[in-house]
Amino acid sequence: MTTKLIGSALARIPWQERPAGCTDVVWRYSKNPVIPRDLIPSSNSIFNSAVVPHEGAFRGVFRCDDKRRMMQLHVGRSADGFDWEIENDRIRFEPAPGAEPQEWIYGYDPRVCRIDDRYIVTWCNGFAGWPAIGVGYTEDFETFHQMENATLPFNRNGVVFPRKIGGRYLMLSRPSDRGHTPFGEIYVSESPDLTHWGGHRLVMRPTAGGWQATKVGAGPVPIETSEGWLLFYHGVLTSCNGFVYSMGAALLDLDQPSKVIARTAPYLLHPKELYEQVGDVPNVVFPCAALTDAETGRIAIYYGAADTVTALAFCRVDEVVEFTRRNALY
């Protein structure tokens, strides 16, 4: 069965064909990292960032840790998805109508999806000094509005589905603690207005062993396909030298995303290249954004590498779905 992407064509999707002799379902861009750590004067590192198509080009919200090692969100633009310009000053959010002004403490690991005429931005927001899920939106990537936090502390990896399901917004998240969180499960929540969240359901837990045994968390915005929602996610194991982050994939039911249809037992992408193994935090592959072309089935995945740089990988939807079903954990 050939899986179809549901959505729009994206003829200018950044793309590189699979290298000769490579049998991997997901393959890396040969010129990685696509964004270096010092692209802007203020940055110590640029990683775990979100990219979307916008008006024939691409825009993004980028995690740029500054040279104080404070976590900030910056806006960027690109004509082709490979070469990026990122503003040196962080985004200054304005309060959304009806929302209270919030003190900016930090922001990291953003995701962005378009719903109707707005781009919804979610990120890990410093709420009273602790990690919670921040929510905002922009219409033009010039002015950004901040809504109320979606959760109390402690929570991370808030990822909104790109359309309403059953008339409600849905969001994946990974409840956590105030530290580096040696645990983590993926939950889904629903909201009528992107402000009030409830109806929480468990989606998936870590495994008994292997690359996703310590914690799992949602990656890019879920991708709608003819076979279900395709979710790329990060899985973490605890080694003798600390955490190791890899990427897997799951298929979720289109109408009931808390139901997992299939989930990969093997990883799809694992720290192997030097830029993934060596950096401010070693051994990290952390997917945060995916671009899709419904006409060709192509997918381009942006991921953070070693919490230092941004890298790019490619795949085809039918191959990923077939791999996920054939190598399903359950």
Q: What is the Cα–Cα distance from 235 to 215, expressed in whole angstroms?
A: 6
Q: What's the topology of domain 27-326?
A: Tachylectin-2; Chain A (2.115.10)
pLDDT (0 to 100) of residue 1: 57
Query: Listing from the earlier edge strand, what are the strands of the sheet with 27-28?
Result: 27-28, 309-316, 298-305, 285-293
Residue 52 tokens, joined: 């979307």
Q: What is the Cα–Cα distance from 97 to 118, expressed in whole angstroms?
A: 14
Q: What is the Cα–Cα distance from 271 to 282, expressed in whole angstroms?
A: 9
pLDDT (0 to 100) of residue 330: 86
Query: CA-CA distances (angstroms) from residue 141 to 23, 55, 128?
Result: 38, 11, 26
CB within 8 A of 286, min separation 6: which ones? 47, 48, 109, 219, 234, 245, 247, 303, 304, 305, 307
- Report pTM: 0.98
Q: Is 233 exposed, middle or buried (0-12, 13-18, 19+ CB in 10 A)?
A: buried
- Kind and range of the H or E run holding 169: strand 169-175
CB within 8 A of 229, min separation 6: which ones? 161, 222, 223, 251, 252, 253, 254, 257
Tens of pLDDT along the chain (330 residues) come to 599 999 999 999 999 999 999 999 999 999 999 999 999 999 999 999 999 999 999 999 999 999 999 999 999 999 999 999 999 999 999 999 999 999 999 999 999 999 999 999 999 999 999 999 999 999 999 999 999 999 999 999 999 999 999 999 999 999 999 998 999 999 999 999 999 999 999 999 999 999 999 999 999 999 999 999 999 999 999 999 999 999 999 999 999 999 999 999 999 999 999 999 999 999 999 999 999 999 999 999 999 999 999 999 999 999 999 999 999 998
CB within 8 A of 272, min separation 6: which ones? none
Label residue 185 left, alpha or beta by phi (over 0 means left) and psi (-120 to 50 means alpha).
beta
Domain boundaries, the chain: 27-326
CB within 8 A of 216, min separation 6: which ones? 174, 184, 185, 186, 204, 205, 206, 233, 234, 235, 236
